[in-house]
Amino acid sequence: MQEQRETQYLVISFSHKHIDLTLREKLAFGDEEKLTFLRKLCECEAIKEAMLLSTCNRVEVYASVLDTKVAREYILENLESYKHIPIATLRECADIRLNQYAIYHTFSVASSLDSLVVGETQITGQLKDAYRFAYENLCCAKDITRLMHYAFKCAARVRNSVDISSSHTSVAGAAIHMLVAKFSQYGESLDSKEAVVLGAGEMAILALKHLAKYDTKITLINRSLQNAQNVVENFAQEFACKVEIKPFSQLQEVLDRADVLVSATGAPHSVISAEMIRPSTHKRIWFDLAVPRDIEEVQIENLEIYKVDDLQEIVTKNKQQRQENAKDAYEIVEQYTQEFFKWLQTLSVDPIIKHMRSLAKDSSLKELDKAIKKGFLPSEYRQNVEKILHNAFNTFLHKPTIRIKEAGESINSDPIIEAVKSIFDINDEIVMLNKYTCEEYFTESKNTKQS
């Protein structure tokens, strides 16, 4: 009989804290590649479930595993194969976390404590999208669902209890703030500038919202004209000015006039080549917020191009105040990490089955004692009747025991186990949260990154 191995949580992280933009670009995943990679991971016997988060600032694998060493090496080997990065480089750069450290890291990411812009709101949505993607493609089930449920719960508590945000709660917001500061240094403002936003995903939408606060002429360009039109229609009330939509075929013409460019597509390669960037007599400031980068590197007069990692200038401002507030947030993360493991213990079916059998035995012996005391049964028959009762409740509980064990392996196990606990009045220190299924995260409206 094969020995049953305990499920453990594993996170392998490559983030802005440990690796530069060049390596993050190489590690970045598109949706099609992401699905192929996740399915490959799930072929490993040591990996039960897997989820992949790929953003401009991080690429992370979240997994429930049966053998941490085998799972870790399998993930790194496949990253080497898919991304053509030497495994020695991956081992050196990877931040590998296990069990409580993996949970703590996950909750910190969800709560935006590990973000480049601490307190930015975009990461929670990105994590929900990553979970939804893995779940809908059958790459994760019970284990990751439990983890994500608690991560989103922790993030909500941090967001509602602690002010960890600067005035810029997104990478795009920080970029526009830096843009304003740069023009101010030259004695200019954003007002009356011609701004171009390239892309129609969440980052581009946030850039549009921030640019709309100024008296700026804004042009939106996207490969899919329909997606661009949908963005303007859906967010028209939030845009304080008219946004002009132009087809991707006019990109060159628009670039020649653009004082400001915010590029945030999901393209797997650059979309603005060096040849497309022409000299200009007026000052231009462009932001490339995409990973991989949208704009090829070029040195040209009167043009400054900033990328995601350059936002560190904004991030460090007021850092001391945010770090002070973040202490309370980290305490919440620590609390939820501890509660999560206590909660997992209440979901084990073995103690429930044991308690059910104990209740059956105690009830049987209690009635047997009553029968002997009242003279319904001679005391010398006690041992034989006790055996009969024992066999009777074992027979009665046989199928329920099998069904409960089967339910314990199902993604729907939590509400089933809670119902059993309620029926048999089995109480725990931590009350199980029987109402969640993470359905709320499937029904939420979301902005899919498009290009």
Where do we find the tokens 């991304």?
A: 83
Instruction: Residue 136: name the closest of 293, 47, 31 by CA.
Output: 31
Same domain, 219 and 285: yes
Four-point Cα dihedral 284, 285, 287, 292, nearest 10: 60
Name residues whose C-beta falls within 8 Å of residue 442's C-beta, 6 or more positions apart in sequence.
132, 135, 136
Instruction: Residue 154: name the closest of 97, 116, 207, 113 by CA.
Output: 113
Q: What pLDDT shows up at residue 446? A: 38
The gap from C-alpha 382 to its chain's centroid, in whole angstroms, comes to 60
Same domain, 23 and 80: yes
Same domain, 391 and 421: yes
Task: For residue 204, say whether it is annotated as part of any ligand binding site.
Answer: yes
Distance from C-alpha of 55 to C-alpha of 43, rounded to nearest angstrom: 25
Same domain, 46 and 149: yes
Distance from C-alpha of 41 to C-alpha of 14, rounded to nearest angstrom: 17
SS3 string, 154-206, reads: HHHHHHHHCCCCCCCCCHHHHHHHHHHHHHHHCCCCCCCCEEEEECCCHHHHH
Q: What pLDDT shows up at residue 206? A: 85
Whether 134 maps to a domain, the answer reads: yes
Same domain, 31 and 118: yes
Task: For residue 200, say whether it is annotated as part of any ligand binding site.
Answer: yes
Cis check: omega of the bond before 292, within 30 degrees of 0: yes
The series of mean pLDDT values per 10 residues for the chain, 451 residues long, is 68 91 89 92 95 93 95 96 95 94 95 81 89 94 92 92 65 84 85 89 85 87 89 71 86 90 89 90 89 89 88 61 75 92 73 80 87 87 88 85 74 72 64 38 39 38
Largest CA distance in the chain: 110
Q: What pLDDT shows up at residue 415? A: 77
Same domain, 269 and 357: no
Whether 3 maps to a domain, the answer reads: no
The pTM of the full predicted model, rounded to 2 decimals, is 0.65
Same domain, 160 and 193: no
Catalytic residues: 56
Whether 219 maps to a domain, the answer reads: yes
Task: For residue 115, say whether it is annotated as part of any ligand binding site.
Answer: yes
Q: What pLDDT shows up at residue 412? A: 66
Task: For residue 55, say whether it is annotated as part of any ligand binding site.
Answer: yes
Same domain, 234 and 374: no
User: For residue 52, what is the enclosing H or E element?
Assistant: strand 47-54
Same domain, 97 and 33: yes
Domain end call among 277, 301, 325: 301
Same domain, 37 and 158: yes
Whether 447 maps to a domain, the answer reads: no
Whether 14 maps to a domain, the answer reads: yes
Domain end call among 268, 301, 334: 301
Distance from C-alpha of 8 to C-alpha of 430, rounded to nearest angstrom: 21
By residue range, what is the domain housing residue 129? 8-166
Distance from C-alpha of 279 to C-alpha of 296, rounded to nearest angstrom: 15
